[in-house]
Structures are given as structure tokens and as C-alpha cells.
């Protein structure tokens, strides 16, 4: 599914599941053959055919299991897909999301073109029915996403599903579904940009995508070229771009949806469209995945698509410094000293610690907007992956209220984070005898010292940093691909802030 043409149509269905016409109706079954409410209604309408199938041992309700039944009497849909939910007393967020994903994938393997998913009516811990709907759209969109535009022939095994209805108590749930659809579309854009190879997705390509978003949703867009960045004194950002023949682009998007003059929230996304490490060359293994080093910038553009669709009543600025980090005669060398836009000087001890070098100038540029808050996001450090793995993004902040707001949004969006320390003791590791600071602080606490480096450029406003190195994409030849994170977190945070306005 591409962000542009293959997102399925989602809708709310409020009638009895046995009466709704669709190619397939999905219902849940807990272990010990405990039926969900929708499954009980289907069983009653079919005069016990579902209970009989379960009694025969064809399915036992284990998580991840499915059973497809056809042409049951009394049911309008020609197919009924039963989805195992696991133990009822243990059913929580992960089990719910897995069940929706399993259901959508299983229906996608049939000839069904539309489906009714009733799993949204099942209680998920302390979550609301609205949460169920929003998450169902996000999970379904994720399960159906595909990226085959670079193949000579489209993937013939792709799903035929083009419409999914979700069971809800009333049509007022449409607002929650709309939010889920907007997040799904934003994630799809971020994933498309991440999965597009670096010979296509260049800094100029990202600038073109930003301009298209601006035309579609009425954003203001400005793209600063090398000369404009030089005039502003972005010596740190431009130093990274020196090793490439692809011109750097500094992208600025503005959504003026809030009150005139209200302080905006600024999102800053790292966009290294390919990262070879520069002179401090990366090892060959997995270097093919370094086109994903623009995932922070891609997520900012994805978030803007979502807020454009939602028409959020909030002022938001997106900043995307974009360039490549390659080795040639002009590239940064270990030991070089550069002057950032803030005037602070940086000794470059490792040219592969380049993300912070482009972000620091973007953080200084952000000051001109007198922001209410600044959130930067970047596939910044391998150390973050070692520390936290691939489940949460690392969160750093110089303000507890901002950190708590992001943590709450992350929980609501199920795009989770883990707050990390930003203590002054770590700043000592960035000392340089020759410049104001070094760009690395050694192996110990590598993600933390990277955040400490950035904090030196964010002292004049409320700021948070998300290290998404472990969450923005999946690694490995067979599963390589963008996840679209942290678009759900960003959009939920902006929705929350708009609600407080």
C-alpha cells in the first residue's frame, strides 16, 4: 500500500454484525472457546455453527490462530474469520493490536475485497472504545502497507482488500477513526520516503515532497539552498554536506492553524539521505540501510500530512536539514573544527557522528520562531539500540512537563518511549582542548552524550530529543523497511496540544 493510492477505505459500522453485508466478517475467540460479543451474535444467527466448529477442535482461541468459515446460515457475509485472542484475563494492548493485524493479514490472503472487523468492540484493559478504533486503523494500515514501486512488476501477492468497516456503538466514533486514518496516511508517507533508495530520495527530492504537501494542505514552505545556509552561518550543517555532490536543502514547513501570534511547536527531523560515515567510513555490512538515516525528516513530513488532513488548530513548524554524508576530498576530516550557527565551535573527532552536526544548526534556527516547545527526532546513535533495543524510542528533555506530555502521547499512540538521563555529569565527556566541544563523548553512554551535545543548542527554549535509531526502521535483508515511527507519537502529541489551546 502506498501513501498515495493504496490506503484502504475505513468506515464505521453500527448494525448487528450478522446483518452487515461484506465479503468477510471478523470476530474474536478467547482461549477455552470463549466467544466475544460479536462472535456470540454470529453463533446465534448461524444456529450454533461457530460453537460447533470450535468444539470440533479446529480452533482453540490461541493468540495468533485463525479459522475461516464459509457460507454460514443466517449471516450476510459469505466468510466468517475467527481470530484467536489468547487468555481473556491477559488480553491487553499488544494482544489487541496483534489480533487486528492477524485478522487483516488473514482476510488479505482471501479473495475478499471488503471486510467487517468486530474486534473493536472488545474491551482492552482501561482503554476506551475510541482508542480501539484509532489503533485498529493504524494497525490495519500497517499490516496492508507495501512498497513495490521500485519493482518492474507489482507484487502479485498483495492484498485485494480495499475497504474495511470497524464495528462501533455509534457513528460519533468517526472522529477517532479519522484520527487513525490521518496517522496511517502520515506513517505511509514517512515509510515511502524511508524506503525510497537514496539515488532517488535525495535532499532535493525531500524538498519537492515538502512543496507538494504545502500545495495540498495550504502550508507555507521555504527551502534554503547552500548559499542561504552560508549566509545564516550554518557552518556545522554545511560541513557535513561537503563530501557529496548532492546540494544540501534546509526545509521549513509551517502550519498556521492556531491563533495568530501563538507560539508554535517546532518539529526538527534529521534527514541524512545516505550516510556512509564520511571519512570515518562505516563497515560494509548493512550500509545499504543507511538511506533510512533520513527517517527523522521523513517522520516530520509524515506528521505534517496527518495534521494537514486533520486541520489541527495549532501552529506547527517543521524543520528538515537534508544532506548526504559521503567521503571525498572536500569532506570533513577527523580533527576539523567547524563553527555552528550559534557561534559555538565543534571539534569533529568522528565524521560518522554527523546527525548532531546538522541538527545543532536547525535547533539554533528554531529560536527565531519563539517556540512553545521544540522536539527533534533522529536516527542518531547505535548506542541507543544497544541500550533500549527496538521497542521504545529514547526520550531526552530539558523540561519535565514536556517530557510528561510526550510520554502520555506515546502511551496513547502506543508508540512508546523511555526517558533517559540528561545529567550535567555526562557533559564532561564532550570537552575539547581545541574547541568549545567535541562532537563525540566516547563509547560510554553514547546516546546520552549525543543528547547532551544537542542540549547545548537548545538552552533558550523548552526542548526534547527523540533518538529513533532502534524504532524508525527494521533491519535485515528479508525484513528491511521503514516503520513510520514516531509519526503516531508526534501526531498524538500535537492533537493533545491543540486540545489544550
pLDDT band at 170 (very low <50, low <70, confident <90, very high): confident
Is residue 113 part of the annotated active site? The answer reads: no
In the predicted model, is pLDDT for residue 412 greater than 70?
yes
Which residues are CB-contacts of 210 (< 8 A; sequence separation ≥ 6)? Answer: 221, 223, 251, 253, 301, 318, 320
pLDDT band at 66 (very low <50, low <70, confident <90, very high): very high
Distance between CA 124 and CA 127 in Å, rounded? 6
Please report which confidence band the pLDDT of residue 160 belongs to, taking 50, 70 and 90 as the band edges.
confident
Residue 375 C-beta-side C-alpha neighbours within 13 Å? 26
Residue 156: pLDDT band with limits 50, 70, 90? low
Tell me which residue of 241, 198, 203, 450 sits closest to 332, measured CA to CA: 241
pLDDT at 5 over 60: no
Task: Label residues 105-118 b or e (16+ Cβ within 10 Å = b).
Answer: ebbbebebebbbbb
Q: Is the pLDDT of residue 2 over 60?
A: no
pTM above 0.75, yes or no: yes
- In this prediction, residue 3 has a pLDDT band, given cuts at 50, 70 and 90, of very low
Across 114-158, the runs of DSSP E, i.e. the strands, are 114-117
Per-residue pLDDT at 410 exceeds 90: yes
Mean pLDDT of 11-40: 96
Which cell numbers hold the place of 176?
477517532
For cell 514516531, name the residue: 486
Please give the grid coordinates belonging to residue 131: 482508542
pLDDT at residue 382, as a whole number: 96
Cis peptide before 336 (omega within 30 of 0): no
Average the pLDDT over 106-126 and give the result. Answer: 96
Write out the three cell numbers for 60: 482453540
Residue 158: what pLDDT? 63
CB distance 306 to 253 below 8 Å: no
Mean pLDDT of 200-218: 98
Residue percentage of the chain with pLDDT more than 70:
97
The C-alpha atoms of residue 305 and residue 299 are separated, in whole angstroms, by 10
pLDDT of 1 above 60: no
**Confidence band (pLDDT; 50, 70, 90) for 477?**
confident
Spans of all domains in the chain: 9-169, 184-500
Q: The domain 9-169: what is its CATH number?
A: 3.40.220.10
pLDDT of residue 153: 84
Contacts of 294 (CB under 8 A, 6+ apart): 193, 194, 201, 206, 270, 271, 272, 273, 322
pLDDT at position 355: 98
Look up 356 and say whether it is catalytic.
Answer: yes
pLDDT digits (tens, 9 = 90+) for 228-269: 999 999 999 999 999 999 999 999 999 999 999 999 999 999
pLDDT at 7: 67
**DSSP H helices in 46-90:** 49-55
Q: Which of 356, 416, 456, 485 is catalytic?
A: 356
Q: For the residues 99-128, what does the mean pLDDT come to?
A: 96
For 402, the grid coordinates are: 514536556
- The pair phi, psi for residue 112, each rounded to 5°, is -65, 135
**Would you say residue 376 has pLDDT above 80?**
yes
pLDDT at 154 (0 to 100) = 73
Catalytic residue among 282, 419, 474, 480: 282
Residue with cell 560510554: 444
Residue 272: pLDDT above 90? Answer: yes
Contacts of 455 (CB under 8 A, 6+ apart): 396, 398, 422, 463, 465
pLDDT at residue 4, as a whole number: 47
Distances (CA, A) of 70 to 77, 82, 161, 483: 9, 11, 18, 34
Cell 550554518, residue located: 234
CA quadruple 348, 349, 350, 353: dihedral, nearest 10: -50
Distance CA 286, CA 377 (A): 22
Q: Which of the listed CATH numbers 3.40.630.10, 3.40.50.1100, 3.40.47.10, 3.40.50.280 matches domain 184-500?
A: 3.40.630.10
Amino acid at each position: 500500500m502506498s501513501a498515495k493510492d493504496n490506503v484502504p477505505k475505513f468506515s464505521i459500522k453500527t448494525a448487528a454484525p450478522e446483518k452487515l453485508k461484506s465479503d468477510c466478517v471478523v470476530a474474536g475467540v478467547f482461549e477455552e472457546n470463549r466467544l466475544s460479543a460479536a462472535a456470540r451474535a454470529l453463533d446465534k444467527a448461524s444456529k450454533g455453527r461457530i460453537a460447533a466448529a470450535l468444539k470440533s477442535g479446529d480452533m482453540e482461541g490461541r493468540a495468533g490462530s485463525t479459522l475461516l468459515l464459509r457460507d454460514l446460515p443466517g449471516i450476510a457475509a459469505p466468510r466468517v474469520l475467527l481470530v484467536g485472542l489468547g487468555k481473556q484475563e491477559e488480553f491487553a494492548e499488544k494482544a489487541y493490536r496483534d489480533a487486528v493485524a492477524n485478522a487483516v493479514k488473514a482476510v488479505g490472503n482471501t479473495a475478499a475485497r471488503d471486510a467487517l472487523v468486530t474486534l473493536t468492540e472488545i474491551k482492552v484493559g482501561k482503554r476506551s472504545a475510541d482508542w480501539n478504533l484509532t489503533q485498529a486503523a493504524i494497525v490495519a494500515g500497517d499490516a496492508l502497507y507495501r512498497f513495490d514501486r521500485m519493482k518492474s512488476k507489482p507484487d502479485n501477492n498483495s492484498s485485494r482488500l480495499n475497504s474495511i468497516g470497524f464495528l462501533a456503538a455509534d457513528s460519533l466514533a468517526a472522529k477517532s477513526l479519522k484520527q487513525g486514518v490521518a496517522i496511517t496516511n502520515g506513517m505511509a508517507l514517512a515509510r515511502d520516503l524511508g524506503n525510497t533508495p537514496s539515488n532517488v530520495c535525495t535532499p532535493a527530492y525531500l524538498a519537492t515532497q515538502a512543496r507538494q504537501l504545502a500545495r495540498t494542505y495550504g502550508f507555507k514552505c521555504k527551502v534554503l539552498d547552500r548559499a542561504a545556509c552560508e549566509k545564516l552561518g550554518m557552518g556545522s550543517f554545511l560541513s557535513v554536506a561537503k563530501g557529496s555532490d548532492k546540494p544540501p536543502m534546509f526545509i521549513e514547513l509551517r502550519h498556521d492553524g492556531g491563533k495568530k501570534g501563538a507560539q508554535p511547536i517546532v518539529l526538527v527531523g534529521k534527514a541524512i539521505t545516505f550516510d556512509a560515515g564520511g571519512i570515518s567510513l562505516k563497515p560494509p555490512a548493512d550500509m545499504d540501510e543507511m538511506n533510512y538515516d533520513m527517517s527523522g525528516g521523513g517522520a516530520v513530513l509524515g506528521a505534517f500530512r496527518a495534521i494537514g488532513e486533520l486541520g489541527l488548530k495549532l501552529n506547527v513548524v517543521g524543520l528538515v536539514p537534508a544532506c548526504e554524508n559521503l567521503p571525498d576530498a572536500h569532506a570533513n576530516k577527523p580533527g576539523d573544527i567547524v563553527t555552528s550557527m550559534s557561534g559555538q565551535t565543534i571539534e569533529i573527532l568522528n565524521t560518522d557522528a554527523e546527525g548532531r552536526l546538522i541538527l545543532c544548526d536547525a535547533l539554533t534556527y528554531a529560536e527565531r520562531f519563539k517556540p512553545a516547545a521544540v522536539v527533534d527526532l533522529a536516527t542518531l546513535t547505535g548506542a541507543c539500540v544497544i541500550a533500549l533495543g527496538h521497542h521504545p524510542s529514547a526520550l531526552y528533555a530539558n523540561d519535565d512537563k514536556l517530557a510528561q506530555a510526550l510520554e502520555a502521547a506515546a502511551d496513547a499512540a502506543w508508540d512508546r518511549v523511555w526517558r533517559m538521563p540528561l545529567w550535567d555529569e555526562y557533559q564532561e565527556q564532550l570537552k575539547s582542548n581545541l574547541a568549545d566541544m567535541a562532537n563525540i563523548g566516547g563509547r560510554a553512554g553514547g546516546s546520552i552524550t549525543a543528547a547532551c551535545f544537542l542540549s547545548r543548542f537548545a538552552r533558550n527554549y523548552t526542548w526534547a530529543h527523540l533518538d529513533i535509531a532502534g524504532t524508525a526502521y527494521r533491519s535485515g535483508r528479508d525484513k528491511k523497511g521503514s516503520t513510520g515511527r514516531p509519526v503516531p507519537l508526534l501526531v498524538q502529541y500535537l492533537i493533545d496540544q491543540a486540545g489544550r489551546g
